[in-house]
């Protein structure tokens, strides 16, 4: 599993520009991510590439749940302050995640039965990362909203 994880991270790292540009293209044209169209290509590229960079670190065990929490709490807060809807931010993360597996599949990454078996572990790790990213992004967004509008604080 560890060797396969490193192989995946190398594949994604070596192709982060391609992955980022493909994700950007889908984010810019998706009906649920319209506010992202207000960003420059450089701004959007940086944001998407940052997610891929965090994902690589997660897969290599270089960051933990708390690191993901802090990163994506801040992302949620910033996106709200920038005027994004939380649904747009979540949709962008889903698009970014989807492109990992579209790319992996297009590269025939899993070419043996053992690889296919190990794929389940890699998919689970991917889902855990993005589930946490989505959750903490929405919490950061909501926390930011509460500080601006005290009526949103639960009694």
Q: Express each pLDDT in 21-71 by its tens digit.
A: 999 999 999 999 999 999 999 999 999 999 999 999 999 999 999 999 999
* pLDDT for the residue numbered 155: 39
* Global pTM value: 0.82
The pLDDT mean for the chain works out to 88
DSSP letters along 78-102, please? HHHHTT--HHHHHHHHHHHHHHHHH
- Count the helix, strand and coil residues of the chain and give each as a percent rounded to the nearest 5: 85, 0, 15
Domain residue limits, the chain:
2-152
Q: Which two tokens stand for residue 98?
A: 């989807």
Q: Which fold has domain 2-152?
A: Globin-like (1.10.490)
- Please answer whether residues 55 and 126 qualify as being in contact, where contact means their C-beta atoms are separated by less than 8 angstroms: yes
Q: How many angstroms separate the Cα of 25 from the Cα of each of 36, 39, 50, 84, 137?
A: 11, 13, 16, 18, 22
- Please answer whether residues 36 and 4 qualify as being in contact, where contact means their C-beta atoms are separated by less than 8 angstroms: no
- Please answer whether residues 62 and 7 qualify as being in contact, where contact means their C-beta atoms are separated by less than 8 angstroms: no
| Structure-model confidence comparison of residues 109 and 133, the more confident one | 133
- Please answer whether residues 100 and 33 qualify as being in contact, where contact means their C-beta atoms are separated by less than 8 angstroms: no
* pLDDT for the residue numbered 82: 95
Give yes or no for residue 152 having a pLDDT over 60: no
Chain centre to alpha carbon of residue 116: 23
* pLDDT for the residue numbered 115: 63
């Amino acid at each position: 599993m560890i060797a396969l994880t490193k192989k995946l991270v190398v594949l994604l790292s070596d192709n982060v520009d391609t992955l980022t540009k493909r994700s950007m293209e889908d984010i810019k044209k998706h009906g649920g991510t319209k506010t992202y169209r207000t960003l420059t290509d450089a701004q959007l590229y940086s944001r998407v590439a940052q997610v891929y960079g965090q994902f690589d670190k997660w897969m290599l065990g270089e960051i933990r749940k708390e690191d993901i929490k802090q990163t994506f709490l801040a992302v949620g807060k910033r996106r709200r302050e920038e005027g994004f809807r939380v649904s747009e931010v979540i949709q962008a993360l889903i698009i970014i995640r989807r492109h990992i597996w579209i790319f992996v599949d297009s590269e025939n990454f899993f070419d043996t039965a053992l690889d296919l078996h190990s794929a389940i572990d890699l998919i689970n790790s991917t889902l855990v990362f993005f589930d946490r990213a989505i959750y903490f992004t929405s919490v950061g967004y909501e926390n930011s909203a509460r500080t601006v509008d005290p009526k949103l604080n639960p009694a």
